Amino acid sequence: MSTLLIILIIIAVLALIPALMTKSFSLEESIIINQPNTVVFDYLKHIKNQDHFNTWSMMDPDMEKTYTGTDGTVGFVSAWDSHKPKGPGKGEQEIKQIKEGERLDVELRFIKPFNSISPAWFTTENTGNGQTKTSWGISGKMPYPMNFMIVAFGMNKQMGKELQNGLGRLKQLLEK
């Protein structure tokens, strides 16, 4: 078999693998915070507070940020633009729905380094004894061939770790 044919077969297989792989992802991480549900939820629903625990917000403390609307209410938009090569890029998030004391839904709109829209959410649940189960989730789609990153680079595992790290920082902040 010629070298050219082997190379073509390898390229074809590498192109075919992502075409057969999932193009969607969804993950959620949780933690117990030793604070009442009202304290945790009131903190979470204000998007500006994410600067203190969100891994991606903390990647570039000097990124440009703009805000539209009233933080903690439906329709509030927080936009960011990072010029750091390994920063969070450019995008925005909008509060889409608030179920007071239970769930905050946002829409993440990424512009750079790639264009995509992903729903994300926080949920809180009173577990008794002044504790709150707090969950942070995100889902979305990655178009071919970017979907290869979901498996090849362990994107779900890495993103799950970042969500868990952020929840850990949130726990530390709120339990001070």
Residue 145 pLDDT? 59
Provide CB contacts within 8 A for 92, sequence distance 6+: 77, 78, 79, 80, 108, 109, 111
Per-residue model confidence as pLDDT tens digits over 34-92: 999 999 999 999 999 999 999 888 888 889 999 999 999 999 999 999 988 888 889 99
Domain segments of the chain as ranges: 3-174
Taking residues 97-111, report their average pLDDT.
96
Q: How far is CA 76 from each of CA 9, 93, 111, 115, rounded to the nearest angstrom?
A: 50, 8, 18, 21
- Tokens at 175, concatenated: 């339990």
CATH 3.30.530.20 fits 3-174, yes or no: yes
Q: From the centroid of its chain, how far is CA 175?
A: 23
**Residue 1: half-sphere exposure toward Cβ, Cα within 13 Å:** 6
Taking residues 94-117, report their average pLDDT.
93
CA–CA gap between residue 7 and residue 21 (Å, rounded):
22
Residue pair 41/124 in contact by the 8 Å Cβ criterion: yes
Residue 113 pLDDT? 79
Is this prediction's pTM over 0.95? no
Taking residues 156-169, report their average pLDDT.
86
Rounded to 5 degrees, what angle do the CA atoms 47, 50, 53 make? 165
